[in-house]
Structure 1
């Protein structure tokens, strides 16, 4: 064997190993138990995700902006038989309509002005894997027809080519638009809607799963402490209550951005109400004028179990943060048996900051 041949084989082996390691890391990252949340609402979503991952059916993920639709799509892909192949996302609303067809299906040289070479589209890039069509509601009616044909026939042609290619992809689409309403308004094809809506998954907004707020805050504190070399230790009870009452129009994305901002500007220690941006502080005054140790039942009532779960999360995190994640001391603070506390920590998926060992 020549030296060059041996070098090529070793390089190929190294790349194969790196690719396998990357795929394994992605699979680990998007395991179901790594999706943050213990609320009943997110539990239903994860149950659905787990059931549909093994199938090849088309999935339509709906939810407000910032709720984590792409995260759910990746969880489906990386826990599916297609996990070893590519997950290819495309935002249908971010690309001009006149360019989107080429982005999806590719084009051949000379197909249009500026097409100086053949180009592979997202369908071909995702071959054997998953194509994630984000903001599908922004797709033009003309492209809706072409996408419908691909879903029906599992074939497509690059722009400017008469050669048909197989579309061996799983489609996961996502939207923050009410597609049924768009169908009635003549803005979205009914036949395409039914082709996409084989398995619908609706992601709740953050205000619908408020019991997960302490867990999400804890997760992002850990993340930004690690990636930005900061030392936030958590949120005070008053700060947590303030954020609990905030309406979160930007959902999880807004919460993540808030924690990143606090990690940069505050850097270390416990986050207090005064550290929060003013509009978060104002929310507490407007929505919860009662004392911090009181509970106000809304006019339309409240879910008792949800409220109890939320305050349990608050209390456990506060006790752990006060004691530097010493479970014996935290259990003593809460007047709990240590085993009971450990079981609750495990069930809720609570993990200490990177600089704290347990």
Structure 2
């Protein structure tokens, strides 16, 4: 039976970052991924935004790790020549009734340590984005965009350079708790392989709850059930995309599954609208885009970018969020838990790592790294 210090399950951006940090620390690391490459699910199907950190309750992991992670990510991009751009972002109130929510968001962001946040009036909105319509906005100068594929490729290469092994097409089946280690069964092709590790990190994204269940965790007892929340994107045609240079968001609705349909510029100068949020009844990774939803996207976006017409939009792509929050439910934080107190020493669950998971990825890996260090 082959032995490793650490086995990481799931090669999304967080799993890659964790594997890289542990390998740099000199641990023997195996990163297993069920697909034939890294980051094929949530990590590659998102807005690629580096968030400021003003949407999450003060003191939560999402707030703390987003702010910390954004700073780390900009530094990492500079050091490793990963394309990114600090575009800035405005959250736009389109009527008087939304201004109190904007003020509340400002207060929350400042409490979370988000740098440079301030309110701007209609004239200042026009100075930033002449084609955007709004009565007031919250300006976040530190928000930006990143090439997430190149980030993940860099992390994968670095992890391997430091001795980590990445096993693609490898599906986690189960883990047996041996009190001081874990025996894992992995399916690679038609073969079932038995492996042993002192530390197991569950970073399996959309199926992180299933991985936890197959390692012996009671999902009901620990409230670890994942809900699939689909988000579609529509792309703005090139002629209209040139009118925007920064990110433009609506004021978020408290119990929605996301931040509302927003306009996101990309590094190539294009603009996407989305994502929307739809909780799926069936646990299926359906990445189709319903072209008939174009009118819904247009109606949402034209309130703050009135220069568009419905015909300027065309179906682009879709993503899936692994949400712990139930439909219409209260805020749920990331689960990043060393499960010793539950009788699983050295098993670290990362569950519900949705947005701002990309932004927070390097901070999450550092958080995990500190907990792993206690075992060596």
TM-score by length of structure 1 reads 0.27
Q: Whose strand fraction is larger, Structure 1's or Structure 2's?
A: 2
TM-score, normalising length: structure 2: 0.26
**Higher relative contact order (Cα pairs below 8 Å, separated by 6+ residues):** 2
More helix by share: 1
